[in-house]
Amino acid sequence: MAKLKPSKGAPYARVLGVGGYRPTRVVPNEVILEKIDSSDEWIRSRSGIQTRHWANDEETVAAMSIEASGKAIADAGISAAQIGGVIVSTVSHFKQTPAVATEIADKLGTNKAAAFDISAGCAGFGYGLTLAKGMIVEGSAEYVLVIGVERLSDLTDLEDRATAFLFGDGAGAVVVGPSQEPAIGPTVWGSEGDKSETIKQTVPWNEYDSSTDKFPAITQEGQAVFRWAVFEMAKVAQQALDAAGVSPDDLDVFIPHQANERIIDSMVKTLKLPEHVTVARDVRTTGNTSAASIPLAMERLLATGEAKSGDTALVIGFGAGLVYAATVVTLP
Nearest to 146 by CA among 168, 166, 123, 162: 123
Task: Give the DSSP H or E segment for 91.
Answer: none
Catalytic residue among 53, 93, 257, 260: 257
Residue 162: φ, ψ to 5°: -80, -25
Distances (CA, A) of 327 to 187, 188, 314: 5, 6, 6
Clarify whether 53 is annotated catalytic: no
Single out the catalytic residue among 111, 122, 206, 260: 122
Q: Residue 56 carries which DSSP code?
A: -
Please, what's the b/e burial string for 149-185 (b: 16 or more CB within 10 A of its CB; e: otherwise)? bbbbbbbbbeebeebbbbbbbbbbbbbbbbbeebbbb
Cβ-contact 155, 218 below 8 angstroms: yes
* 288 in catalytic set: yes
Facing residues of 254 across strands? 279, 314
295 close to 280: Cβ distance less than 8 angstroms: no
Q: 262, 46 in Cβ contact below 8 A?
A: yes
Instruction: Residue 119: name the closest of 153, 138, 96 by CA.
Output: 96
Close Cβ partners of 265 (under 8 Å, ≥ 6 residues apart): none
What are the b/e assignments for 302-329, b being 16+ CB within 10 Å? Answer: beeeebeeebbbbbbbbbbbbbbbbbbb
Q: What's the CA gap between 235 and 231, in Å, rounded?
A: 7
Other residues' Cβ atoms within 10 Å of the Cβ of residue 209: 7
What contacts 104, CB < 8 A, 6 or more positions away? 62, 65, 66, 69, 86, 88, 115, 147
Active site residue 122: yes
Which of the residues are catalytic? Answer: 122, 257, 288
